[in-house]
């Protein structure tokens, strides 16, 4: 059976950062991802990232991905990469991880340490015919147009005005697709105000206190019905919108199956959008050889996922005896400083209160 010092599960921004950090600190790393290429959602982002210079603010998301891939190339002797490889299960009894390359090629790995950076899954909202072809998750729309250069449709109705709904609306327009409107249940956009302003000035309406009532179409989407929402429920007349895509950007939830399987202490934290593992200041879970990073630890931005990945990679490397205490303390302090800056704003308030509920300084021995 294959062995490895650090197995990183999921090669998005958090996992890539964890693998790079652990490897640069002298660990032998195996990085697996279920997709056909590394980068997770990062490689689909055409907008410039926020943050500060440490987070390469002002650089487009996919360009940050390219920088990480370049770093990976430099560490290729220490990082064994497997794409198109899905982790099927974690066996607590003997610490073995089972995997499948493609649909058939089954193998196992016994790692000494694991970083779970499995990302997130999109949420769905209930409405009649929400399973009609043409109702797509926002991530799927991004994959089609920004990774594979495929036009998702002609006219899109976006559901949700969080950062993803706002950003994907802008990206759709860049791909030459009309955005009929962005529909938002809440009385205020959930994403960054500037992302909303960007699409508003290009003529996209953002309809607050509105919801989708049903999808229209026989075999595929041909439209949608939306309606205003008041204190007592739906109000006003339903409005028909012509569109061939209904894009759902109604939130994400952490991908936590493996964390459950591994027996990590889990907690439901609404601010972090689902069940997340309790973790200490090193991003270590209650299972002493398992770390967590990125959206799997709670839904947040890619910028902070990359810093969390660094923290987890650093922690895993130190536990293997690869990092001097003084280097560790310096790394820990600088990464936490970056995280606290990223989370200090108005939008970070929710994250801060969520983290309070599932963090501890150190696990009791």
Within residues 301-320, the interface with other proteins by CB under 8 A covers 303
End-to-end CA distance of the chain: 31
Q: Which region among 54-62, 68-76, 90-98, 227-235 touches other proteins (by CB under 8 A)? A: 54-62
Which residue's CB is nearer to other proteins, number 183 or number 320? 183
Q: Is 179 in the site for other proteins (CB under 8 A)?
A: no
CB 238 within 8 A of CB 128: no
Query: x-or-dash pattern for other proteins, window 262-301, by CB under 8 A?
Result: ----------------------------------------
> Is 239 an interacting residue with respect to other proteins (CB under 8 A)?
no
Q: Is the Cβ of residue 136 or residue 275 nearer to other proteins in the bound state?
A: 136
Query: What letters, b where the CB count within 10 A reaches 16 and e where it falls short, cover 261-285?
Result: ebebebeebebbbbbbbbbbebbbb
Report if residue 146 touches other proteins, rule: CB under 8 A: yes
Exactly one of 71, 80, 112, 122 binds other proteins (CB under 8 A); that residue is 122
Residue 172, number of CB atoms within 10 A of its CB: 26
Residue 195 binding other proteins, by CB under 8 A:
yes
Q: Is the dihedral of CA 293, 297, 301, 304 positive or negative?
A: negative
Question: Among residues 250, 342, 355, 358, which is the contact residue for other proteins, using CB under 8 A?
Answer: 342
- Residue 49 binds other proteins (CB under 8 A): yes
Buried b (16+ CB within 10 A) or exposed e, 102-133: eeeeeeebebbbbbbbbbbbbbeeebeeeebe
By CB under 8 A, tell whether 93 contacts other proteins: no
Q: Which two tokens stand for residue 4?
A: 């490895």
CA dihedral 20, 24, 30, 33 (to 10 degrees): 10
Binding to other proteins by CB under 8 A, coded x per residue (else -) over 9-48, reads -------------------------xxx---------xxx
């Amino acid at each position: 059976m294959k062995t490895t010092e650090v197995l990183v599960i999921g090669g998005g921004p958090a996992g890539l950062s964890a693998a790079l950090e652990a490897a640069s600190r002298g660990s032998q790393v195996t990085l697996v991802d279920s997709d056909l290429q590394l980068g997770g959602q990062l490689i689909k982002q055409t907008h410039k990232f926020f943050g500060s210079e440490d987070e390469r603010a002002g650089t487009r998301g996919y360009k940050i991905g390219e920088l990480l891939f370049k770093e990976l190339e430099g560490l290729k002797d220490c990082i064994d990469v497997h794409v198109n490889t899905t982790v099927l299960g974690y066996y607590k009894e003997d610490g073995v991880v089972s995997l499948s390359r493609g649909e058939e090629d089954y193998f196992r790995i016994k790692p000494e340490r694991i970083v779970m950076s499995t990302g997130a899954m999109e949420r769905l909202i209930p409405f009649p015919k929400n399973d009609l072809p043409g109702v797509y998750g926002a991530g799927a729309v991004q994959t089609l147009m920004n990774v594979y250069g495929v036009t998702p449709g002609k006219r899109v109705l976006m559901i949700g005005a969080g950062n993803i709904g706002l950003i994907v609306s802008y990206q759709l327009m860049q791909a030459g697709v009309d955005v009929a409107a962005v529909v938002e249940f809440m009385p205020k956009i959930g994403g960054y105000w500037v992302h909303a302003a960007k699409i508003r000035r290009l003529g996209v309406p953002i309809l607050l206190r509105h919801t989708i009532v049903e999808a229209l179409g026989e075999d595929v989407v041909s439209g949608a019905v939306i309606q205003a929402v008041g204190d007592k429920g739906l109000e006003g007349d339903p409005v028909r919108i012509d569109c061939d895509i209904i894009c759902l950007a109604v939130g994400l939830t952490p991908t936590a199956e493996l964390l459950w399987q591994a027996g990590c202490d889990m907690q439901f934290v609404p601010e972090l959008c689902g069940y997340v593992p309790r973790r200490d200041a090193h991003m270590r879970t209650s299972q002493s050889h398992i770390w967590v990073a990125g959206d799997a630890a709670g839904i947040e931005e890619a910028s902070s996922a990359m810093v969390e990945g660094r923290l987890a990679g650093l922690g895993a490397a130190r536990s293997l005896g690869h990092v001097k205490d003084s280097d560790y303390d310096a790394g820990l302090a600088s990464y936490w400083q970056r995280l606290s800056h990223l989370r200090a704003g108005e939008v970070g308030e929710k994250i801060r209160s969520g983290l309070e509920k599932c963090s501890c300084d150190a696990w009791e021995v």
